[in-house]
Chains A and B, each alone.
Chain A
């Protein structure tokens, strides 16, 4: 069993990457065809068809089958089909985007639309540096499908384009709008007479009160401790302003050791020192910790706005989860308490070598239509990057609190993208440092040191393409 697995996995690591015929012909890397560029489907551009879709061209869509499932995509495909009845749509859903699609990228026959998400996500840095993703610029300038007088770009929430841009080119459509914050149960807090604290000192005082009541103030996903890096970095940005995030994203020297990061790490160390974290949390994964939180064993948890739909099955009736921004460190904070991290997430892309590239862009136009976006929000309880798409949709409690928090945050909202630029830095290096820090094995100085070492190792690695952003 094990020996076979070694073989299978060695093979999977790119060795059996091409079909058998390609293997015999030479090597896995030589199998790609640059010569088939002429086979792409092209239609005539017109006002009705600004992207030049060939109406009978088949469209292949690969969806990540995760928290959102695949039903929403089938609905989008039906909308596409409605517009192009002659188009054959091939739909598939998988949890292993990388393993399923890697050979097809090499082969030069990728699908037309890929929802590159989940644990099996393909590293975007690699894709971008190999020019494997199509430029979505034409999509942005095309008129919206059902919002008259506006281009697709005009209909998007602020920041949606920036997140998917690499060196100024818009390559990745991040479809959902996600807020990251600290969650609590409104019911639990109402029952106990607690109220969410707006400053860090009050937060610590509240934690003390919660602990005295026999409930652990905090829990987190010990197997994926990077979840805790989010509120920590958010605290630092609110204290020191958005430049804290820009420095981290641009891999500036000692960006992780800025005064703001130091202040934030010192503050968060308090909940570790005072044992305000549920015992055993370092051994829990995200499902286990979120479940413990839903069972009322802990009061706070850090997560993005997907939490509510992820926890749907285990959330007790009337739990009423609410998202809140991180507490302010003090009156000297550059951003107000209401400022929250909001960003576009759930990446979709059209491979540069897609046969029906125009069809892929058109599919995005369907997704970004008001009808497409509202249908998505209704089906999976998540916001999209289409402004105003929640109008007339009944939102569940947690998502309504997300909308409220984003409204209150307004133009003070902030974000960082180093996790998109350098997947390894967040997923492996900062993750490991957070694990050590929040389990109390290292202090704030060592924590920032370990993060900085990770960032430096990325900065020094000449095989990784570097990106810069200005704001």
Chain B
């Protein structure tokens, strides 16, 4: 059978690799080339301008403003999402301790698990529209609730002090469900007897989470971290649908800048590609850093 291995590998590997090269690698390479031109996108002509686009980018206040927001997303979204995800997953798989011996979740675990996953099923655009109405300053759910208890009703998405944070909250809300399921699945792979031993030793829930669960889940957390870091560098759809970067650029992100530069208010495809190239390297560095920073010895159950 050995000699039959290679044709099989080739048959299964070549088409996907070819597709990947055509539709992913080649556009990336072209972005590098386009970023050194002044291409305006609607003719075949483009003049090479060297690194001029990158130089403009260095002094472009709007780009820096967008990057600042991405940095905030990067610092906050993964921490909040993973934190909440771990908390909920723990409660769902080992939160219940009353009455019975052994390790079980809180009552209604199955229902919670399904409800948490709802946002994941919805398209991002639907989520954006949904929350746009929730944040509606006059007839929205949020302000309706605030008014009912006599609190002031802010304009949320219409105020530069709150708009960005409103979208950030939605981003966390939309992501948490997936990580609850992911962490939950990873937790079910941890042998129960470890927990029973810990219980016998009288450890609190917090200690169990910190000393047992998280170290044993580290691989999964690491993956989650990278996914979320990449998502934080994006945020495009939610921002574009909910605030379009406003008011006064307060919720702008780099992806939206790129889109606006090419398709929105201008048609500077060369400059937009330069922004894309920067985003590419940023995403790459963040992914590498996240992998490095989170590297620990792997624990194997034997």
Contacts and interface: CB of A to CB of B under 8 A. Distances in A.
Interface residues of B, number: 66
Nearest to A132: B42
B247 A439 contact: yes
Given A5-B234, A435-B246, A281 B158 contact: yes
B34 A27 contact: yes
Nearest to B242: A223
A463 B22 CA distance: 31
B30 A9 contact: no
A212 interface: no
Given A5-B236, A280-B138, A11 B23 contact: yes
Contacts, number: 200
Contact of B248 (A33, A123, A436, A464): A436
Interface string B47-85: 000000000000000000000000000000000000000
B28 interface: yes
Nearest to B156: A283
A223 B255 contact: no
A6 B283 contact: yes
Contact of B41 (A2, A34, A102): A102
Given A1-B124, A10-B276, A463-B268, A29 B37 contact: yes
Instruction: Report the contact-size class of chain A (Cβ under 8 Å from the partner).
Output: 35 or more
Interface in A243-284: 278-284
B136 interface: yes
B93 interface: no
A105 interface: yes
B247 A432 contact: yes
A15 B27 contact: yes
Contacts of A131: 43
A223 B160 CA distance: 12
A15 to B, nearest CB: 4
B159 interface: yes
A378 interface: no
Nearest to A21: B22
B212 interface: no
Contact of A283 (B159, B260, B264): B159
A10 B31 contact: yes
B93 to A, nearest CB: 25
Interface in B209-267: 227, 230-231, 233-234, 236-237, 243-244, 246-249, 255, 258-260, 262-267
A424 B249 CA distance: 13
Given A15-B28, A283-B137, A9 B255 contact: yes
B158 A282 contact: yes
Contact of A282 (B34, B234, B247, B262): B247
Contact of A32 (B23, B44, B160): B44
B183 interface: no
B269 interface: yes
Most buried by B among A3, A10, A223, A285: A10
B255 A29 contact: no
B103 to A, nearest CB: 32
Interface in B252-302: 255, 258-260, 262-269, 271-273, 276, 279-280, 283
Contact of B135 (A12, A123, A283, A436): A283
A407 interface: no
A361 interface: no
For the complex of A and B, 9 pairs with smallest distance between CB atoms: A32-B44, A280-B137, A283-B158, A282-B158, A126-B267, A15-B27, A424-B265, A283-B155, A283-B137
Given A3-B231, A127-B42, A284-B137, 18 more contacts: A10-B276, A15-B27, A15-B30, A16-B23, A23-B27, A29-B45, A99-B263, A132-B42, A223-B158, A280-B158, A282-B155, A283-B157, A424-B265, A435-B246, A436-B248, A439-B158, A439-B247, A463-B271
Interface of A: 1-3, 5-7, 9-17, 20, 23-24, 27-34, 98-99, 102, 105-106, 108, 120, 122-123, 125-127, 129-132, 222-223, 225, 278-285, 288, 292, 297, 423-424, 427-428, 431-433, 435-436, 439, 441, 463-464
21 contacts: A2-B234, A3-B227, A3-B230, A9-B259, A10-B276, A13-B269, A13-B273, A13-B276, A14-B273, A99-B263, A102-B41, A120-B263, A223-B158, A279-B137, A280-B158, A281-B158, A284-B137, A285-B132, A427-B265, A435-B246, A464-B266
